Structures are given as structure tokens and as C-alpha cells.
Amino acid sequence: MKQILFILTFFLNQYICLAQTNYKKQNDSAEVFIQQTIKDLNVSGLAVAVIKDGKVLKMSCYGKANYDWNLKIDAHTNFQIASTTKLLTSTLVMKSLYNKKFALDDLVSNYVENAPNSWQGMKIRHLLNHTSGIRDFKGDRYTSTDKVVNSLKDSTLAYPTGTKQAYMSGDFTILLHILEKIYKMPYPEILRTEITNPLRMKDGAFDRERMVSEWMETDSVHNKASTYYVKNGKRIPYKFFYPQFTYTAGGYFASLTDLVNWAIGIDEEILFPSVFEKSIAYKADTVGTTKSGFSQIGLSIGDFNGMRFGGHSGGPALGDVLRFPDEKITIIILSNDGELLPYFAPAILTFYVPGLFFERKVTKFKRTQALK
């Protein structure tokens, strides 16, 4: 068995090297840009991958995962990907729709007991494209999902369902409740069983941070990067708390290898056919008189010079994934720099798709100002 694994690993590495060799000019130009930008912005750490037609064109890592221990980032470093977690949730939704576990037009009240009258007519699609009107939960962030759902049912809607669009997490908490009811298991287990295991995403996990008596307890996540911002000229580690009832919306730790395998798995149609992905993943509903900025399965969508894309960023750029279905190219950016803005992915795309008009400029914001 070890010999077989060695042979498979050898040929995979040769396969990656061949693909990268065919794009050497683009890779070299992108590499110069990446390294110069990291230097100019003092980026704490970065991991980059470019996938086309199921092949790895570029896969590279920069900087440190942890400055206390002087640990370098590698392809198996697990980054907190924040709202990029929604990319995995959207993948689960696509698989569920393909296998007819539920439908976008199923009423939320079919899955949530004693739903209020204001929720009548609310559909699963409204949760996914952030048009439900359900507010964010503002109470005890360590409480159970059931208690949060009951609290959200008791609160008024921010606006009538389907009339506006607002990026809030309450709708994805209700989605988590529905998915757990359908699959009859906790959300992290659903994601592992239905998505990450089939796609060979072996590194990542949720840390399931929780209060036990008077102390904090978490699950171990191997090779976990610390996240940083700069304060008074010093690099400061910090951690944003993701309640377990928001795990459909954020909180997953993933490695570059994980997300490369995600992209390749979608290209190879492991979970569902490509034609199904293209029919729904990038399709937007209308909100009022305008097109939704989110697809029917919750991806952030748009186009560059007529090239449609779907994906998600988070943190605001701890994770940033852009997938272009017609060109069959995926750009993956992971970082542990909490002040980076999500401009790296489109900038790198311009090296691999000729004729794109997008300024290759990556910027930061000051998190210390945002915390005031």
C-alpha cells in the first residue's frame, strides 16, 4: 500500500509540474507581482493557487503561519477562511438540490416549527440570497442553535421577504437548522460526510469553540495559522469568534490543498455534473427591479469583461475564491493577514486570461480603526 501511495504521489507531483511548466511565463509574471505586493504591504502570510480544467497551474505559499513559533506557511497550513465557508455551504446546497433533498422553493415553514406569520411565503432561496429579512442574532453567542432559532422567530423582520437584500447571518442560521433537520446530524458532520471527504479535503475543520464552566474549550485543528493585524507598528495576533450556529456562514479552517482539491473535484464532477453546476450556481434572482448580487445557492456573483464568475471572500480577504465556469479557471487566495482587502484574486487572474481590464493593485485597511 505504501508503495502504491508513493507512486500515486510521484505521478501527481509530475502532473502538477507539467501543468506549471506549460504556463511558466504566466507563473513567473504572477510570482514577481505576488512577491512585490507582499513586500510592499508587509503581508503576514499568503497561499495562492490557480486551477484550470482540473489541473494545478500554480500553487505557492509565502510568509509565516505563526510568528511566535516562526512557522512557515505550507500547502497544508489551515487558515481561518471566515465567510469563504459559504463556498462549502453552497457546494452542499448544490449537492442537496441535485439529490433532491430539498428544493429552492420549499417553504421555510415546512422545516421550522411554529414559524411566525411574517415568515409565511419565505423560501429556502430567500435564505441563500440574503433576501429573507431575518435579522442577525444579538444575544448569547455561546447558546444553542435551537434557542437562536426561537429568538429569531420572535423578532421582527428587517424588511418584507424578497423586497430587499442585506448581507446578514441570521438567514444562514435558519439554513443550518434546516440542513441539520434534513440530514439528521450536526452541520460539521454533514459537511465532512457530504463534501470534504468525497472531495479529499483532509486538512480542515471547525474548531468548535465553546464555553465550559469558566474556561474556553476548542477542538484541535492541525497546522492552524494565527491571524494578524498591525497595531502601533507591531504585528498582533487575534481571533474572531464564530458561534456554532453560524457555521454555515463562517468559521471553517481550510488549507490551500483543501481548496485546490475542492476546485479539482468540482471540475471532475465528483459531486454533481458540470451542466448542473452551470445551470444554478451562477444564476441570480431579481430583487425588486435589480439582479441579486448573490446566486440562487448563495455564491457572490458577477463578471469581469463579460466573464461570469462565482465565489466568496471572507475576513475580508482571509479567504478569496473566484471560479470562472466558462473559462474553467479557479483562483484561490488564503491569507492570515486580517487587514488585506480581496483584490489579490482578480489581480492574479489577469496573468492567466489575456485582455482583462482590471488594475493589478492590492490594498489594505487599518483594522485598528475599524475596532474603535
Q: Provide mean pLDDT across the span 46-57.
A: 98
Q: Write down the pLDDT at residue 18.
A: 47
| In 186-283, beta strands by DSSP E | 210-212, 215-217, 227-231, 234-238, 253-254
Q: What is the pTM of this model?
A: 0.92
141-174: pLDDT as tens digits: 999 999 999 999 999 999 999 999 999 999 999 9
Residue 4 pLDDT exceeds 90: no
pLDDT digits (tens, 9 = 90+) for 257-297: 999 999 999 999 999 999 999 999 999 999 988 999 999 99
> Which has the closest alpha carbon to 64: 41, 40, 47, 84?
47
Portion of the chain with pLDDT greater than 70, in percent = 93
pLDDT band at 15 (very low <50, low <70, confident <90, very high): very low
The answer as to whether 125 is a domain residue is no
Q: Is 266 helix (H, G, I), strand (E, B) or coil?
A: helix
CA distance 123 to 280: 16
Asked if 206 contacts 252 with a C-beta cutoff of 8 angstroms, the reply is yes
- What is the pLDDT at residue 370? 58
Average pLDDT of the residues in 33-53: 98
The answer, yes or no, to whether residue 12 has pLDDT greater than 70, is no
pLDDT bin (cut points 50, 70, 90) of residue 67 is very high
Domain assignment present for 130: no
User: Is the per-residue pLDDT at 189 higher than 70?
Assistant: yes
Mean pLDDT for the stretch of residues 41-68: 98
- Cell numbers representing residue 180 in the block: 441539520
Q: Residue 312's domain is classified under what CATH number?
A: 3.40.710.10
User: Is 211 inside any structural domain?
Assistant: yes
Which pLDDT belongs to residue 201?
99
User: By residue range, what is the domain housing residue 97?
Assistant: 24-101+186-370
Could you tell me the pLDDT band of residue 211, with boundaries at 50, 70 and 90?
Answer: confident
> Given this model, what pLDDT does residue 165 score?
95
Displacement of CA 276 from its chain's centroid (Å): 20
Question: Who's near 233: CB < 8 A, 6+ residues apart?
Answer: none
pLDDT at 351 over 90: yes
Q: Kindly state whether residue 149 falls inside one of the protein's structural domains.
A: no
Is 44 among the domain residues? yes
**How many domains in the chain?**
1
Residue 67 falls inside a structural domain? yes
Give the per-residue pLDDT at 304. Answer: 86
CA distance 72 to 62: 8
153 inside domain: no
**Mean pLDDT for all residues in the chain:** 93
Q: Cα angle vertex 71, ends 68, 76, to 5°?
A: 135
Q: Cell 431579481 sits at which residue?
A: 286
Average pLDDT of the segment spanning 91-106: 99
Residue 123 lies in a domain: no
351-370 average pLDDT score: 87
Q: pLDDT value at position 213? A: 83
Q: Which grid coordinates belong to 156? A: 421582527
> What are the phi and psi torsion angles at 186 (to 5°)?
-65, 150
pLDDT at 21: 56
How far is the C-alpha of 111 from the C-alpha of 250, rounded, in Å?
22
pLDDT of residue 150: 96
